Structures are given as C-alpha cells and as structure tokens.
Amino acid sequence: METPQRSLVKAVLWTLLGLLMMSLVGLMFTGSAQLGGAMALVNAALGLLCYMGYERIWARVRWGRLDG
C-alpha cells in the first residue's frame, strides 16, 4: 500500500501532463487558446478528483498483490 501523499503526487503529475495534452487538443479543435485552456482546466480538475478516488480504492483491494 502506498501513502496518501504518494498518491497525491502521482495524481498531480498525471494531471499536469493531461492538462498540457488537453490544452493542445482544445487549441487544435477550437482555434482558441483561451477556450482550449478552459476546457483543459475543467478536464484536469475532474480527472484529478477521479484519479485520486480510483487510486485510493485500488490501494485497499488486496486482489492480485504479491505482498512479501
């Protein structure tokens, strides 16, 4: 099991990567950096919350672990 702090750092770094990618996709599809950035921020916030919950749930699941 990992600590909540480790889960948070992983989630934040993953979210920043997603924010960058989503900003570029939003810019490509809308032609607007402002609209693309806004879309990316909403996506990043939702993604961060979902990822944190997902990680914490899986941290409690013992199935498939090789604890030694």
| Inter-residue contact 11 to 48 (CB < 8 Å) | yes
Q: Tell the burial category of 56 from Cβ atoms under 10 Å away from its Cβ (0-12, 13-18, 19+).
A: middle
pLDDT tens digits along 6-25: 988 988 898 889 889 999 99
Query: Does residue 23 belong to any structural domain of this protein?
Result: yes
Query: Does residue 66 belong to any structural domain of this protein?
Result: no
| Count of structural domains, the chain | 1
Query: Does residue 47 belong to any structural domain of this protein?
Result: yes
Determine how many CB atoms are found less than 10 A away from the CB of residue 6: 12
Query: Does residue 68 belong to any structural domain of this protein?
Result: no
pLDDT tens digits along 30-66: 999 999 989 988 988 898 899 889 989 988 998 888 8
Q: Is the pTM of this model over 0.75?
A: no
Q: How far apart, in Å, are the Cα atoms of 10 and each of 28, 46, 47, 55, 65?
A: 27, 15, 12, 10, 20
Residue range of the domain that includes 44: 4-60
Query: Does residue 37 belong to any structural domain of this protein?
Result: yes
- In one letter, which amino acid is 35? L
Query: Does residue 41 belong to any structural domain of this protein?
Result: yes
Query: Does residue 65 belong to any structural domain of this protein?
Result: no
